[in-house]
């Protein structure tokens, strides 16, 4: 007598096909630097002035300004996808 064994077929629920897409949470620019630092001053200046380009005599000021621009660009791209 031969046994016919059939392995159970896993059921695939329809919820797998119905993935709910939640929008990514966009994070507004946030100053990561300590107050009273050149980096913080550059970040705050760019935030207040919507600077198109960062310049100056201080590398830390410029880096802070560029950090703001980078965060702002990422935020705007995220918002555009919403």
pLDDT 10s digits, 18-64: 555 455 699 999 999 999 999 999 999 999 997 678 999 999 999 99
Sketch the domain layout of the chain as residue ranges: 33-81
pLDDT score of 35: 95
**HEC states along the chain?**
CCCCCCCCCCCCCHHHCCCCCCCCCCCCCCCCCCCCCHHHHHHHHHHHHCCCCCCCCCHHHHHHHHHHHHHHHHHHHHHHHC
pLDDT score of 74: 95
pTM of the model: 0.69
User: Which of 7-16, 33-42, 64-73 is predicted least confidently?
Assistant: 7-16
């Amino acid at each position: 007598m031969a046994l016919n064994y059939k392995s159970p077929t896993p059921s695939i629920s329809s919820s797998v096909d119905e993935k709910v897409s939640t929008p990514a949470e966009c994070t507004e620019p946030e100053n990561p630097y300590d107050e009273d630092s050149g980096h913080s001053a550059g970040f705050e200046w760019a935030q207040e002035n919507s600077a198109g380009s960062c310049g100056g005599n201080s590398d830390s000021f410029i880096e802070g300004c560029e950090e703001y621009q980078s965060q702002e660009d990422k935020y705007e791209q995220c918002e555009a996808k919403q």
